[in-house]
Every structure is written in C-alpha cells, then in structure tokens.
Structure 1
Amino acid sequence: MKYVNTHEAKTQLSKLIARVRAGEKVAICQAGKPVALLTPYEAPRRKPRLGMWEGKVELRPGWDSPETDAEIEAMFDVLKERD
C-alpha cells in the first residue's frame, strides 16, 4: 500500500488512479495519519427480487416425482461417500 499526503494526492491524482487500476491501494494522509483509502470501484451487486424468474422457468409435469427424488438422493449419497 502506498501512503501519500494530501498535497501529493492533489498533484499526482492521475498517477495514483493508474496505480489503483493496476491493483494497488493508496492511503491519503493528513499530518501523517491515513484519512482516506483510494481503491478500485466495485459496482454494487444487484439484489434478486421476488418473481424475477416468472415466465422464464418452466416446471414440467413430473419434476417432483418419486423417481426424480430417488435420483437426487442417489446423487447426494454418492457425494456423502466421497467425503
């Protein structure tokens, strides 16, 4: 992590941004103490909303049949045996 004072941050902002884009973090200090952290921007994750798959997923007849349940159970039994 690179530490810079506020004057250097103001005069070298473009270079500091280039360092951040390369993966480095930059702490901006006042009187020798960090007061801000310059890090890459991360876009907020979209929260799933209720009903967002409506009309996009089709549950066919028999999707919850005993045969399907047995197949799923067998898959997990195999996974349990591996552990």
Structure 2
Amino acid sequence: MRVVNIHEAKTQLSRLGEQAAGGESFLIAKAGKPMVKVTALDAPATPKRLGFLTGEIDVPEDFDRMGDDVIASMFGHDRQRRANAL
C-alpha cells in the first residue's frame, strides 16, 4: 500500500481522494509513522429512486380530504353550514 507524507497529502488531496475513491487506498504518515488509512466508502453506486414502493401500498382516493370534519371543527366551522352556503 502506498504511503504518502502529510505534506504531500495536503498539497495533493484532491488527486489522492479521487484515487482512493477509485479503489487505490493509501496511508498518510507523519515523520515516517503511519497515521491514517484513506480508503473508499462502501456507498451505493446509485441513490434509491422515488417510487420504490409502487404497488406495495394503497392510498385512498380521498386522502387529501381525510380529517376535514375535525379540522373544520377546530376552526369553528361546520361542514353542513358550509355545504348549505354553496
């Protein structure tokens, strides 16, 4: 494994980071003594996409009106009075 002194690591961090992300791990040393191992993370290559639960759950047709009566009563409105006004 490649050993890089701390001064070189500071001046070449961008390049060294790209190499580590590509699978080339390395050690950072100070006065010849290894201090840190730099290696790529085990992160997924592609992020999860929206819609991953398609077909797994059912959303009611009236989901955007659920609880209307409770909300209206909290504000002092009666749904029947409102319907009659229309």
Q: TM-score, normalised by structure 1?
A: 0.48
More helix by share: 1
Q: TM-score, normalised by structure 2?
A: 0.47
Larger radius of gyration: 2
